[in-house]
Amino acid sequence: MTSRRYSVASAGRPAEFPPAARDRIEKILARYPTKQAALLPILWVAQETWGWISKEAAEEVARILDLPPAHVSGVLTFYTMYNLEPVGRHLLQFCTSISCHLAGAERLLDHCRGRLGIDLGETTPDGKFTVVEVECIAGCDRAPSMMVNDAYHEPMDAAKLDSLLGSLP
């Protein structure tokens, strides 16, 4: 269970999906017997479109699916992978569950925080990196494991992390 909430800064104009995203949404809807079942996939489309899901985007999804906005908000805050505020270009996700923990995941995370000068959940001022802690990502045999956006980087250590951070645009 997460306890993330929308930031006030997200208040703004209603969101509208671009045409390509609207086509994808139509295709997704055709695959499910109920509109509601398309909620998670369409929230993914929203996140891929804007990089995060604003209150306005969530309301637009609710409108498309004939769902109460409160339902969409409840779903959004239940799952950990929907970004409820903007994140950096590179979302650094460090696993600290048991096998990665045994392999020193927290030391790696501390190293990263020290190097970037930000705390968990924060984004560097240049908008490049956001650092988060995640639970087991099924990389236990290559611990400590981490993901940058949608890609695994494992096993990771301080030196490899430094060179990875230096190489990312």
Partner 1 sequence: MTFEPVLLARVGRERSQSIDTYVSDGGYEALRKVLGGGWAPEAVTEEVKKSGLRGRGGAGFPTGVKWGFVPKDTKGQPVYLLCNADESEPGTFKDRLLMEEDPHQMIEGQIISAYALKCRTSYVYIRGEFFHGARVIQRAVDEAYEKGFLGENILGSGFSHDITVHRGAGAYICGEETGLIESLEGKRGQPRIKPPFPAVFGVFGAPTIVNNVETLCCVTHVMKRGAEWFAKIGRNEKNTGPKLYCLSGHVNRPGVYEAPMGLQMKELLFGEDYGRGMKDGRKVKAVIPGGASAAMLTPEEIEDCPLDFDGLAAKKSMLGSAAIIVMNEDTCIVDAARNLAKFFSHESCGQCTPCREGTPWLHRVLDRIESGDGRAEDIDLLEKISNQMANGMTICVFADAAIAPVLSSIGKFRDEYRHHVERKACLVGPRAAVGATA
Applying CB under 8 A, which residues contact partner 1?
1, 31-34, 36-41, 43-44, 65, 67, 71, 74-75, 78-82, 96-99, 101-102, 134-143, 147, 150-152
In whole angstroms, the minimum distance from the beta carbon of 107 to partner 1 comes to 10
Nearer to partner 1, 115 or 142 (CB): 142
Nearer to partner 1, 1 or 8 (CB): 1
In whole angstroms, the minimum distance from the beta carbon of 88 to partner 1 comes to 18
In whole angstroms, the minimum distance from the beta carbon of 48 to partner 1 comes to 11
In whole angstroms, the minimum distance from the beta carbon of 125 to partner 1 comes to 27
* Spatial contact of 54 and 43, defined as CB atoms under 8 Å apart: no
Residue 144's DSSP bridge partners are: none
Q: What are the start-end ranges of the E strands in 78-144?
A: 90-95, 129-134
In whole angstroms, the minimum distance from the beta carbon of 38 to partner 1 comes to 7
Residue 95's DSSP bridge partners are: 134
Q: CA-to-CA distance for 2 and 20, rounded, in angstroms?
A: 31
Nearer to partner 1, 67 or 165 (CB): 67
Q: CA-to-CA distance for 121 and 131, rounded, in angstroms?
A: 6
Nearer to partner 1, 11 or 37 (CB): 37
User: What region, left, alpha or beta, does residue 4 occupy, with left being phi > 0 and alpha being psi -120 to 50 degrees?
Assistant: beta
Nearer to partner 1, 66 or 126 (CB): 66
69-78 and 55-64 are packed helices; what angle lies between their axes, rounded to 10 degrees?
Answer: 120
